[in-house]
Protein backbone atom coordinates (compact mmCIF):
# COMPACT_ATOMS: atom_id res chain seq x y z
CA UNK A 1 0.00 0.00 0.00
CA UNK A 2 2.74 2.41 0.99
CA UNK A 3 4.38 1.83 -2.40
CA UNK A 4 1.19 2.73 -4.18
CA UNK A 5 0.83 5.91 -2.12
CA UNK A 6 4.34 7.02 -2.95
CA UNK A 7 3.69 6.37 -6.61
CA UNK A 8 0.49 8.38 -6.64
CA UNK A 9 2.11 11.22 -4.70
CA UNK A 10 4.81 11.25 -7.31
CA UNK A 11 2.20 11.28 -10.04
CA UNK A 12 0.41 14.14 -8.32
CA UNK A 13 3.66 16.06 -7.94
CA UNK A 14 4.44 15.49 -11.60
CA UNK A 15 1.02 16.86 -12.52
CA UNK A 16 1.45 19.91 -10.30
CA UNK A 17 4.85 20.59 -11.78
CA UNK A 18 3.49 20.14 -15.31
CA UNK A 19 0.62 22.57 -14.65
CA UNK A 20 2.98 25.12 -13.14
CA UNK A 21 5.33 24.82 -16.08
CA UNK A 22 2.44 25.13 -18.51
CA UNK A 23 0.95 28.15 -16.77
CA UNK A 24 4.38 29.63 -16.28
CA UNK A 25 5.08 29.28 -19.96
CA UNK A 26 1.76 30.82 -20.86
CA UNK A 27 1.65 33.63 -18.34
CA UNK A 28 5.05 34.70 -17.17
CA UNK A 29 7.74 36.04 -19.41
CA UNK A 30 10.93 34.11 -19.02
CA UNK A 31 13.45 36.13 -17.07
CA UNK A 32 15.52 36.70 -20.21
CA UNK A 33 12.69 38.27 -22.23
CA UNK A 34 12.83 42.04 -22.52
CA UNK A 35 9.01 42.35 -22.64
CA UNK A 36 6.23 40.09 -21.32
CA UNK A 37 4.75 39.50 -24.78
CA UNK A 38 4.66 40.69 -28.39
CA UNK A 39 1.45 41.40 -30.30
CA UNK A 40 1.98 41.59 -34.04
CA UNK A 41 -0.12 43.42 -36.64
CA UNK A 42 0.37 44.02 -40.33
CA UNK A 43 1.13 42.32 -43.62
CA UNK A 44 3.33 39.66 -45.20
CA UNK A 45 6.47 41.21 -43.72
CA UNK A 46 5.33 39.77 -40.36
CA UNK A 47 2.75 37.05 -41.24
CA UNK A 48 3.40 33.68 -39.57
CA UNK A 49 0.57 31.66 -41.04
CA UNK A 50 -2.57 33.71 -40.43
CA UNK A 51 -3.74 33.12 -44.01
CA UNK A 52 -3.13 29.37 -43.89
CA UNK A 53 -0.24 27.31 -45.21
CA UNK A 54 1.85 28.39 -48.19
CA UNK A 55 3.26 25.70 -50.47
CA UNK A 56 6.94 25.16 -51.19
CA UNK A 57 9.24 26.76 -52.23
CA UNK A 58 7.98 29.09 -49.45
CA UNK A 59 9.61 27.98 -46.23
CA UNK A 60 12.30 25.99 -48.01
CA UNK A 61 14.88 27.01 -45.38
CA UNK A 62 12.74 26.55 -42.26
CA UNK A 63 14.44 23.99 -40.03
CA UNK A 64 11.25 22.25 -38.99
CA UNK A 65 8.26 21.24 -41.12
CA UNK A 66 5.87 21.90 -38.24
CA UNK A 67 6.64 25.64 -38.36
CA UNK A 68 4.04 27.62 -40.29
CA UNK A 69 5.39 28.94 -43.57
CA UNK A 70 6.21 32.64 -43.70
CA UNK A 71 6.07 34.65 -46.95
CA UNK A 72 9.80 34.00 -47.23
CA UNK A 73 12.29 31.21 -47.70
CA UNK A 74 12.63 30.99 -43.93
CA UNK A 75 12.02 33.22 -40.93
CA UNK A 76 10.79 36.82 -41.17
CA UNK A 77 11.10 40.19 -39.47
CA UNK A 78 8.63 39.28 -36.70
CA UNK A 79 10.75 36.24 -35.86
CA UNK A 80 14.01 38.17 -35.68
CA UNK A 81 12.57 41.09 -33.72
CA UNK A 82 11.04 38.56 -31.30
CA UNK A 83 14.40 36.81 -31.01
CA UNK A 84 16.08 40.12 -30.20
CA UNK A 85 13.57 40.37 -27.35
CA UNK A 86 14.48 36.92 -26.03
CA UNK A 87 11.65 34.86 -27.53
CA UNK A 88 12.19 31.77 -29.62
CA UNK A 89 10.41 33.20 -32.69
CA UNK A 90 7.38 35.30 -33.55
CA UNK A 91 4.37 34.65 -31.35
CA UNK A 92 1.98 32.19 -33.01
CA UNK A 93 -0.67 33.26 -35.50
CA UNK A 94 -4.07 33.91 -33.96
CA UNK A 95 -5.54 31.32 -36.30
CA UNK A 96 -3.31 28.64 -34.83
CA UNK A 97 -4.65 29.40 -31.33
CA UNK A 98 -8.01 27.90 -32.25
CA UNK A 99 -9.89 25.92 -31.04
CA UNK A 100 -10.89 28.03 -28.12
CA UNK A 101 -9.64 25.98 -25.19
CA UNK A 102 -8.47 27.50 -21.95
CA UNK A 103 -4.88 26.58 -22.70
CA UNK A 104 -5.04 28.56 -25.90
CA UNK A 105 -6.64 31.51 -24.19
CA UNK A 106 -3.70 31.44 -21.82
CA UNK A 107 -1.38 31.60 -24.78
CA UNK A 108 -2.74 35.04 -25.51
CA UNK A 109 -0.69 36.09 -22.51
CA UNK A 110 2.47 35.03 -24.32
CA UNK A 111 1.75 37.15 -27.40
CA UNK A 112 -0.23 36.63 -30.58
CA UNK A 113 0.34 37.46 -34.23
CA UNK A 114 -2.56 38.80 -36.25
CA UNK A 115 -0.41 39.83 -39.24
CA UNK A 116 -1.91 38.75 -42.54
CA UNK A 117 -0.23 38.75 -45.94
CA UNK A 118 -1.88 40.94 -48.54
CA UNK A 119 -3.52 43.23 -45.99
CA UNK A 120 -3.13 46.96 -45.79
CA UNK A 121 -3.85 49.97 -43.65
CA UNK A 122 -7.07 50.53 -45.59
CA UNK A 123 -9.94 48.06 -45.27
CA UNK A 124 -10.20 48.00 -49.03
CA UNK A 125 -6.61 46.81 -49.54
CA UNK A 126 -6.94 43.06 -49.76
CA UNK A 127 -4.44 41.54 -52.15
CA UNK A 128 -5.24 37.93 -51.34
CA UNK A 129 -8.83 36.89 -50.93
CA UNK A 130 -8.12 35.63 -47.42
CA UNK A 131 -6.21 38.73 -46.27
CA UNK A 132 -7.35 40.13 -42.94
CA UNK A 133 -7.34 43.92 -42.77
CA UNK A 134 -5.55 45.82 -40.03
CA UNK A 135 -8.94 46.88 -38.63
CA UNK A 136 -10.02 43.23 -38.44
CA UNK A 137 -6.70 42.28 -36.87
CA UNK A 138 -7.27 44.86 -34.16
CA UNK A 139 -10.81 43.50 -33.66
CA UNK A 140 -9.24 40.07 -33.12
CA UNK A 141 -6.85 41.52 -30.57
CA UNK A 142 -9.84 43.06 -28.79
CA UNK A 143 -11.39 39.57 -28.69
CA UNK A 144 -8.13 38.12 -27.33
CA UNK A 145 -8.01 40.82 -24.70
CA UNK A 146 -11.57 40.05 -23.67
CA UNK A 147 -10.63 36.42 -23.12
CA UNK A 148 -7.53 37.38 -21.16
CA UNK A 149 -9.58 39.82 -19.09
CA UNK A 150 -12.14 37.14 -18.24
CA UNK A 151 -9.33 34.85 -17.17
CA UNK A 152 -7.59 37.59 -15.17
CA UNK A 153 -10.85 38.62 -13.49
CA UNK A 154 -11.24 35.05 -12.27
CA UNK A 155 -7.86 35.43 -10.61
CA UNK A 156 -8.55 38.96 -9.39
CA UNK A 157 -5.66 40.35 -11.37
CA UNK A 158 -7.10 42.61 -14.06
CA UNK A 159 -4.71 45.41 -13.04
CA UNK A 160 -1.78 43.07 -13.57
CA UNK A 161 -3.11 42.25 -17.04
CA UNK A 162 -3.27 45.95 -17.89
CA UNK A 163 0.29 46.39 -16.68
CA UNK A 164 1.38 43.38 -18.68
CA UNK A 165 -0.16 44.74 -21.89
CA UNK A 166 1.34 48.17 -21.23
CA UNK A 167 4.79 46.59 -21.06
CA UNK A 168 4.32 44.36 -24.10
CA UNK A 169 5.58 45.30 -27.55
CA UNK A 170 2.95 46.10 -30.17
CA UNK A 171 4.76 45.46 -33.43
CA UNK A 172 3.17 46.90 -36.57
CA UNK A 173 4.33 46.77 -40.18
CA UNK A 174 1.74 47.79 -42.75
CA UNK A 175 1.23 50.04 -45.74
CA UNK A 176 3.28 48.37 -48.48
CA UNK A 177 0.21 46.75 -50.02
CA UNK A 178 -1.76 50.01 -49.97
CA UNK A 179 1.04 51.56 -52.02
CA UNK A 180 1.02 48.61 -54.42
CA UNK A 181 -2.68 49.12 -54.97
CA UNK A 182 -2.15 52.81 -55.54
CA UNK A 183 0.59 52.10 -58.12
CA UNK A 184 -1.56 49.46 -59.82
CA UNK A 185 -4.53 51.84 -60.00
CA UNK A 186 -2.50 53.97 -62.45
CA UNK A 187 -4.20 57.01 -60.96
CA UNK A 188 -1.04 58.49 -59.50
CA UNK A 189 -0.76 62.27 -59.00
CA UNK A 190 -4.51 62.99 -59.19
CA UNK A 191 -5.40 60.32 -56.62
CA UNK A 192 -2.39 60.84 -54.35
CA UNK A 193 -3.67 63.57 -51.98
CA UNK A 194 -6.84 61.68 -51.05
CA UNK A 195 -5.04 58.34 -50.89
CA UNK A 196 -2.35 59.74 -48.59
CA UNK A 197 -4.86 61.51 -46.35
CA UNK A 198 -6.95 58.33 -46.03
CA UNK A 199 -3.89 56.24 -45.33
CA UNK A 200 -2.70 58.57 -42.60
CA UNK A 201 -6.10 59.02 -40.96
CA UNK A 202 -6.75 55.28 -40.97
CA UNK A 203 -3.31 54.50 -39.57
CA UNK A 204 -3.75 57.12 -36.87
CA UNK A 205 -7.08 55.59 -36.04
CA UNK A 206 -5.55 52.09 -35.76
CA UNK A 207 -2.81 53.29 -33.42
CA UNK A 208 -5.34 55.12 -31.27
CA UNK A 209 -7.61 52.06 -31.13
CA UNK A 210 -4.70 49.93 -29.94
CA UNK A 211 -3.86 52.58 -27.38
CA UNK A 212 -7.47 52.43 -26.21
CA UNK A 213 -7.10 48.67 -25.82
CA UNK A 214 -4.07 49.11 -23.57
CA UNK A 215 -1.09 49.21 -25.92
CA UNK A 216 1.65 51.56 -24.69
CA UNK A 217 4.83 50.43 -26.45
CA UNK A 218 4.60 50.75 -30.20
CA UNK A 219 7.30 49.29 -32.42
CA UNK A 220 6.35 50.50 -35.86
CA UNK A 221 8.20 49.39 -38.95
CA UNK A 222 7.74 51.94 -41.71
CA UNK A 223 6.86 51.14 -45.30
CA UNK A 224 9.78 49.64 -47.28
CA UNK A 225 10.97 51.07 -50.61
CA UNK A 226 8.26 49.33 -52.64
CA UNK A 227 9.61 50.95 -55.81
CA UNK A 228 12.67 48.67 -55.62
CA UNK A 229 10.93 45.28 -55.48
CA UNK A 230 11.49 43.07 -58.54
CA UNK A 231 7.82 43.39 -59.54
CA UNK A 232 8.15 47.16 -59.99
CA UNK A 233 11.74 47.18 -61.26
CA UNK A 234 10.46 44.98 -64.05
CA UNK A 235 8.32 47.85 -65.39
CA UNK A 236 10.98 50.60 -65.26
CA UNK A 237 12.97 51.26 -68.40
CA UNK A 238 16.43 50.76 -66.97
CA UNK A 239 15.45 48.21 -64.35
CA UNK A 240 16.04 50.68 -61.53
CA UNK A 241 13.69 51.46 -58.68
CA UNK A 242 10.38 53.14 -59.50
CA UNK A 243 11.09 56.61 -58.12
CA UNK A 244 7.47 57.71 -57.93
CA UNK A 245 6.69 54.82 -55.58
CA UNK A 246 9.72 55.41 -53.40
CA UNK A 247 9.10 59.13 -53.16
CA UNK A 248 5.50 58.78 -51.99
CA UNK A 249 6.48 56.05 -49.54
CA UNK A 250 9.22 58.27 -48.11
CA UNK A 251 6.75 61.12 -47.67
CA UNK A 252 4.27 58.83 -45.94
CA UNK A 253 6.90 57.45 -43.57
CA UNK A 254 7.73 61.03 -42.56
CA UNK A 255 4.05 61.68 -41.88
CA UNK A 256 3.79 58.53 -39.75
CA UNK A 257 6.76 59.62 -37.66
CA UNK A 258 5.15 63.04 -37.23
CA UNK A 259 1.78 61.49 -36.34
CA UNK A 260 3.40 59.30 -33.68
CA UNK A 261 5.26 62.31 -32.26
CA UNK A 262 2.00 64.27 -32.15
CA UNK A 263 0.14 61.39 -30.55
CA UNK A 264 2.77 60.69 -27.93
CA UNK A 265 2.79 64.30 -26.76
CA UNK A 266 -1.00 64.40 -26.64
CA UNK A 267 -1.86 64.87 -22.94
CA UNK A 268 -3.96 61.70 -22.89
CA UNK A 269 -1.52 59.01 -24.11
CA UNK A 270 0.17 58.78 -20.79
CA UNK A 271 3.14 56.49 -20.58
CA UNK A 272 3.20 55.76 -24.29
CA UNK A 273 6.54 54.99 -25.95
CA UNK A 274 7.29 54.33 -29.59
CA UNK A 275 9.99 53.72 -32.13
CA UNK A 276 9.55 53.96 -35.87
CA UNK A 277 12.01 51.62 -37.55
CA UNK A 278 12.97 52.57 -41.08
CA UNK A 279 12.64 49.53 -43.33
CA UNK A 280 13.05 52.12 -46.07
CA UNK A 281 16.54 53.22 -45.01
CA UNK A 282 17.59 49.66 -44.15
CA UNK A 283 16.62 48.25 -47.55
CA UNK A 284 17.99 51.26 -49.46
CA UNK A 285 21.22 50.81 -47.58
CA UNK A 286 21.35 47.12 -48.57
CA UNK A 287 20.42 48.03 -52.14
CA UNK A 288 22.99 50.79 -52.53
CA UNK A 289 25.77 48.99 -50.72
CA UNK A 290 25.20 45.24 -51.26
CA UNK A 291 28.74 44.05 -50.67
CA UNK A 292 29.14 45.88 -47.36
CA UNK A 293 25.93 44.18 -46.23
CA UNK A 294 26.78 40.68 -47.46
CA UNK A 295 24.51 40.60 -50.51
CA UNK A 296 25.34 39.86 -54.13
CA UNK A 297 21.87 40.16 -55.73
CA UNK A 298 19.61 43.01 -54.65
CA UNK A 299 17.40 43.51 -57.69
CA UNK A 300 16.15 40.05 -58.71
CA UNK A 301 13.94 37.58 -56.93
CA UNK A 302 15.55 34.34 -55.81
CA UNK A 303 12.37 32.40 -56.55
CA UNK A 304 10.68 33.12 -59.88
CA UNK A 305 11.34 33.38 -63.59
CA UNK A 306 11.45 36.09 -66.20
CA UNK A 307 12.74 39.64 -65.90
CA UNK A 308 14.17 40.15 -62.39
CA UNK A 309 12.62 36.80 -61.46
CA UNK A 310 9.33 38.67 -61.28
CA UNK A 311 7.75 37.45 -64.50
CA UNK A 312 6.15 34.60 -62.58
CA UNK A 313 5.13 33.97 -59.02
CA UNK A 314 7.19 31.77 -56.72
CA UNK A 315 5.30 28.58 -57.49
CA UNK A 316 6.12 24.90 -57.27
CA UNK A 317 8.00 24.69 -60.57
CA UNK A 318 9.65 28.13 -60.33
CA UNK A 319 13.43 28.52 -60.48
CA UNK A 320 14.88 28.88 -56.96
CA UNK A 321 18.39 30.28 -56.48
CA UNK A 322 20.95 28.33 -54.50
CA UNK A 323 22.59 31.30 -52.79
CA UNK A 324 19.54 32.49 -50.89
CA UNK A 325 21.60 34.15 -48.17
CA UNK A 326 23.09 36.47 -50.84
CA UNK A 327 19.72 37.68 -52.15
CA UNK A 328 17.79 40.64 -50.80
CA UNK A 329 14.50 39.50 -52.38
CA UNK A 330 12.99 36.07 -52.07
CA UNK A 331 10.11 36.49 -54.53
CA UNK A 332 8.64 39.29 -56.65
CA UNK A 333 8.01 41.48 -53.59
CA UNK A 334 9.21 39.85 -50.36
CA UNK A 335 12.51 39.77 -48.54
CA UNK A 336 14.63 36.73 -47.84
CA UNK A 337 15.29 35.42 -44.37
CA UNK A 338 18.81 36.93 -44.65
CA UNK A 339 17.33 40.38 -45.26
CA UNK A 340 14.92 40.01 -42.34
CA UNK A 341 17.67 38.88 -39.98
CA UNK A 342 20.04 41.71 -40.84
CA UNK A 343 17.23 44.28 -40.98
CA UNK A 344 15.87 43.31 -37.56
CA UNK A 345 19.31 43.61 -35.98
CA UNK A 346 19.73 47.12 -37.43
CA UNK A 347 16.26 48.38 -36.48
CA UNK A 348 16.71 46.90 -33.03
CA UNK A 349 20.13 48.20 -32.14
CA UNK A 350 21.71 50.57 -34.68
CA UNK A 351 22.55 53.92 -33.05
CA UNK A 352 19.76 56.40 -33.75
CA UNK A 353 22.21 58.79 -35.48
CA UNK A 354 22.49 56.26 -38.32
CA UNK A 355 18.87 56.91 -39.25
CA UNK A 356 17.37 53.40 -39.05
CA UNK A 357 14.97 54.15 -36.20
CA UNK A 358 13.57 57.28 -34.56
CA UNK A 359 13.27 58.84 -32.07
CA UNK A 360 14.77 55.80 -30.29
CA UNK A 361 15.61 52.31 -31.51
CA UNK A 362 13.70 49.17 -30.52
CA UNK A 363 16.29 48.26 -27.92
CA UNK A 364 15.73 51.56 -26.15
CA UNK A 365 11.98 51.07 -26.52
CA UNK A 366 12.01 47.86 -24.52
CA UNK A 367 14.58 48.73 -21.91
CA UNK A 368 14.69 48.75 -19.01
CA UNK A 369 12.49 45.73 -18.54
CA UNK A 370 9.83 46.15 -15.94
CA UNK A 371 9.34 42.46 -15.22
CA UNK A 372 6.53 40.10 -16.05
CA UNK A 373 3.53 42.24 -15.23
CA UNK A 374 2.63 40.20 -12.19
CA UNK A 375 1.38 37.00 -13.85
CA UNK A 376 3.96 34.71 -12.39
CA UNK A 377 3.01 31.19 -11.48
CA UNK A 378 4.22 31.76 -7.94
C1 LIG B 1 -14.07 31.75 -27.39
O2 LIG B 1 -14.34 32.00 -26.03
C3 LIG B 1 -15.03 33.19 -25.76
C4 LIG B 1 -15.11 33.42 -24.27
O5 LIG B 1 -14.73 32.32 -23.57
C6 LIG B 1 -16.40 33.12 -26.44
O7 LIG B 1 -17.11 34.32 -26.21
C8 LIG B 1 -16.23 32.91 -27.92
O9 LIG B 1 -17.48 32.76 -28.54
C10 LIG B 1 -15.38 31.68 -28.20
N11 LIG B 1 -15.07 31.61 -29.63
C12 LIG B 1 -15.14 30.47 -30.32
C13 LIG B 1 -14.77 30.58 -31.76
O14 LIG B 1 -15.49 29.43 -29.84
C1 LIG C 1 -9.42 32.58 -53.29
O2 LIG C 1 -8.22 32.36 -53.98
C3 LIG C 1 -7.98 31.02 -54.30
C4 LIG C 1 -6.60 30.90 -54.92
O5 LIG C 1 -6.11 32.13 -55.31
C6 LIG C 1 -9.07 30.52 -55.24
O7 LIG C 1 -8.84 29.15 -55.52
C8 LIG C 1 -10.41 30.69 -54.57
O9 LIG C 1 -11.43 30.33 -55.48
C10 LIG C 1 -10.61 32.12 -54.14
N11 LIG C 1 -11.83 32.24 -53.37
C12 LIG C 1 -12.72 33.19 -53.59
C13 LIG C 1 -13.92 33.19 -52.71
O14 LIG C 1 -12.57 34.03 -54.45
C1 LIG D 1 -12.99 49.00 -41.44
O2 LIG D 1 -13.52 47.76 -41.04
C3 LIG D 1 -13.90 47.72 -39.68
C4 LIG D 1 -14.38 46.30 -39.40
O5 LIG D 1 -13.33 45.42 -39.32
C6 LIG D 1 -14.98 48.72 -39.40
O7 LIG D 1 -15.31 48.71 -38.04
C8 LIG D 1 -14.47 50.11 -39.78
O9 LIG D 1 -15.50 51.05 -39.64
C10 LIG D 1 -13.98 50.12 -41.21
N11 LIG D 1 -13.36 51.40 -41.48
C12 LIG D 1 -13.59 52.11 -42.56
C13 LIG D 1 -12.87 53.41 -42.68
O14 LIG D 1 -14.34 51.72 -43.43
C1 LIG E 1 -9.99 55.64 -44.06
O2 LIG E 1 -10.02 55.38 -45.45
C3 LIG E 1 -11.30 55.40 -46.05
C4 LIG E 1 -11.14 55.11 -47.53
O5 LIG E 1 -10.54 53.84 -47.72
C6 LIG E 1 -11.96 56.75 -45.83
O7 LIG E 1 -13.29 56.70 -46.30
C8 LIG E 1 -11.93 57.12 -44.35
O9 LIG E 1 -12.42 58.41 -44.18
C10 LIG E 1 -10.51 57.05 -43.83
N11 LIG E 1 -10.34 57.55 -42.47
C12 LIG E 1 -10.74 56.96 -41.34
C13 LIG E 1 -10.41 57.64 -40.06
O14 LIG E 1 -11.32 55.90 -41.31
C1 LIG F 1 1.13 67.15 -36.03
O2 LIG F 1 0.69 68.26 -35.28
C3 LIG F 1 0.87 69.50 -35.95
C4 LIG F 1 0.50 70.62 -34.97
O5 LIG F 1 -0.74 70.38 -34.41
C6 LIG F 1 -0.01 69.53 -37.20
O7 LIG F 1 0.16 70.71 -37.90
C8 LIG F 1 0.38 68.35 -38.09
O9 LIG F 1 -0.48 68.27 -39.20
C10 LIG F 1 0.34 67.05 -37.32
N11 LIG F 1 0.88 66.01 -38.19
C12 LIG F 1 0.34 64.81 -38.33
C13 LIG F 1 1.01 63.89 -39.30
O14 LIG F 1 -0.62 64.42 -37.70
C1 LIG G 1 24.63 52.21 -44.80
O2 LIG G 1 24.57 52.52 -43.42
C3 LIG G 1 25.83 52.64 -42.80
C4 LIG G 1 25.58 52.91 -41.34
O5 LIG G 1 24.81 54.05 -41.20
C6 LIG G 1 26.62 53.75 -43.45
O7 LIG G 1 27.92 53.76 -42.89
C8 LIG G 1 26.71 53.50 -44.94
O9 LIG G 1 27.33 54.60 -45.54
C10 LIG G 1 25.35 53.32 -45.52
N11 LIG G 1 25.50 53.00 -46.94
C12 LIG G 1 24.70 53.48 -47.87
C13 LIG G 1 25.03 53.10 -49.28
O14 LIG G 1 23.76 54.20 -47.62
C1 LIG H 1 5.29 26.20 -64.39
O2 LIG H 1 4.04 25.62 -64.73
C3 LIG H 1 3.15 26.51 -65.40
C4 LIG H 1 1.85 25.80 -65.69
O5 LIG H 1 1.67 24.69 -64.88
C6 LIG H 1 3.77 26.96 -66.71
O7 LIG H 1 2.91 27.90 -67.36
C8 LIG H 1 5.12 27.61 -66.44
O9 LIG H 1 5.76 27.94 -67.65
C10 LIG H 1 6.02 26.68 -65.65
N11 LIG H 1 7.23 27.41 -65.27
C12 LIG H 1 8.45 26.90 -65.45
C13 LIG H 1 9.59 27.77 -64.99
O14 LIG H 1 8.66 25.83 -65.93
Counting ligands in written order, the one closest to the CA of 151 is 1
**267 found inside a domain:** yes
Statement: residue 374 has pLDDT above 50: no
pLDDT score, position 296: 98
Beta bridge partners of 38: 169
Tens-digit pLDDT profile for residues 22-71: 333 334 445 689 999 999 999 999 999 999 889 999 999 999 988 999 99
What average pLDDT does range 315-326 have in this prediction?
Answer: 97
Number of structural domains found in the chain? 1
Kindly report the protein residue whose alpha carbon is nearest to atom 3 of ligand 7: 317
pLDDT score, position 15: 32
Kindly report the protein residue whose alpha carbon is nearest to atom 8 of ligand 3: 135
The alpha carbon dihedral of 180, 183, 187, 188 has a sign of: positive
Residue 358: CB within 6 Å of ligand 3?
A: no
Cβ pair 134, 120 in contact under 8 A: yes
Distance 124 CA to ligand 1 centre (A): 27
Kindly report the protein residue whose alpha carbon is nearest to atom 12 of ligand 4: 202
**131 found inside a domain:** yes
Tens-digit pLDDT profile for residues 61-114: 999 988 999 999 999 999 999 999 999 999 999 988 876 667 777 778 889 999
Statement: residue 277 has pLDDT above 70: yes
Statement: residue 310 has pLDDT above 70: yes
**3 found inside a domain:** no
Distance 345 CA to ligand 3 centre (A): 34
Instruction: Name the helix (H) or strand (E) containing 216.
Output: none
Tens-digit pLDDT profile for residues 330-343: 999 999 999 999 99
Distance 90 CA to ligand 1 centre (A): 24
Kindly report the protein residue whose alpha carbon is nearest to atom 5 of ligand 5: 262
pLDDT score, position 367: 84
**14 found inside a domain:** no
**278 found inside a domain:** yes
**302 found inside a domain:** yes
Distance 183 CA to ligand 4 centre (A): 19
Tens-digit pLDDT profile for residues 169-223: 999 999 999 999 999 999 999 999 999 999 999 999 999 999 999 999 999 999 9
Q: Which atom of ligand 7 is nearest to the CA of 318?
A: 13
Average pLDDT, the chain: 88
pTM of the model: 0.88
CA–CA dist 162, 183 (Å, integer): 41
pLDDT score, position 10: 37
Domain that holds residue 155: 33-365
Helix axes 176-185, 243-265, angle to 10 degrees: 140
CATH number, domain of 262, equals 3.40.50.1110
Q: Which residues contact 54 (CB under 8 A, 6 or more apart)?
A: 69, 70, 71
Counting ligands in written order, the one closest to the CA of 143 is 1
Tens-digit pLDDT profile for residues 123-143: 999 999 899 999 999 999 999
Better-predicted residue by pLDDT, 6 or 356 = 356
**28 found inside a domain:** no
CA–CA dist 157, 153 (Å, integer): 6
Beta bridge partners of 335: 329
Tens-digit pLDDT profile for residues 288-301: 999 999 999 999 99
**6 found inside a domain:** no
Better-predicted residue by pLDDT, 116 or 99 = 116
Amino acid sequence: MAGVRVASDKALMALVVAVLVMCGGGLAAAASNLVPAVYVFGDSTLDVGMNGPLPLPYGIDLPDESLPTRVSNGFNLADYISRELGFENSPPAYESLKPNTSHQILRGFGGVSYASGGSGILNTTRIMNNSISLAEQIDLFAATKLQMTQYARGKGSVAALDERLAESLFLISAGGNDFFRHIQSLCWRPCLPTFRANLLSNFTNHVQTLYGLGARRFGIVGVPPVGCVPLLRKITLGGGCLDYANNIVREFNTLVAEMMANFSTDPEPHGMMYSVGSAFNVLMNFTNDPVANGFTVVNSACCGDGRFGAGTFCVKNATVCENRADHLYWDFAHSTQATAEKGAAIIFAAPVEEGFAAPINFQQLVSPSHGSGGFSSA
